[in-house]
Amino acid sequence: MKSHAVAVSVFLATANCACAGSVSDMEALRIVHKHCVTCHTANPTHESFREAPKNIILETVTDLKKAAVIFVQTVQTKAMPLGNQTDMTDDERATLGRWVKELP
């Protein structure tokens, strides 16, 4: 029984170390879906837009990887989301920043 507890502890410690600081594609996409796709989608639901601003679509991970502007607009200048209407937190911005920096 004791060896199982040690094995589980070693596994959990290793898993935490391997993931520390890294951001998954799905986590980045979750943040973008929460804060950006009301405007940056093929069919925006935000009342001010009939099409995605500057034709920037952010629906998939592939879309995100093509849109390097995310880093500048969302992380560095905090210009997006526009007026921070969706209440993006500094932690979410930092997470997106880490994700962009980790891209190959």
Residue 11 has pLDDT above 70, yes or no: no
Q: How far is CA 71 from the centre of its chain?
A: 10
Residue 95 lies in a domain: yes
The residue range of the domain holding 45 is 23-102
Average confidence (pLDDT) over 16-40: 84
The tokens for 70 are 């995310």
Residue 17 has pLDDT above 60, yes or no: no
The tokens for 62 are 């592939």
Residue 53 lies in a domain: yes
What average pLDDT does the chain have? 84
Residue 5 has pLDDT above 90, yes or no: no
pTM of the entire structure?
Answer: 0.77
The number of folded domains in the chain is 1
41-59 per-position pLDDT tens digit? 999 999 999 999 999 999 9
Q: Comparing C-alpha atoms, which of 24, 49, 8, 13 is closest to residue 99?
A: 24
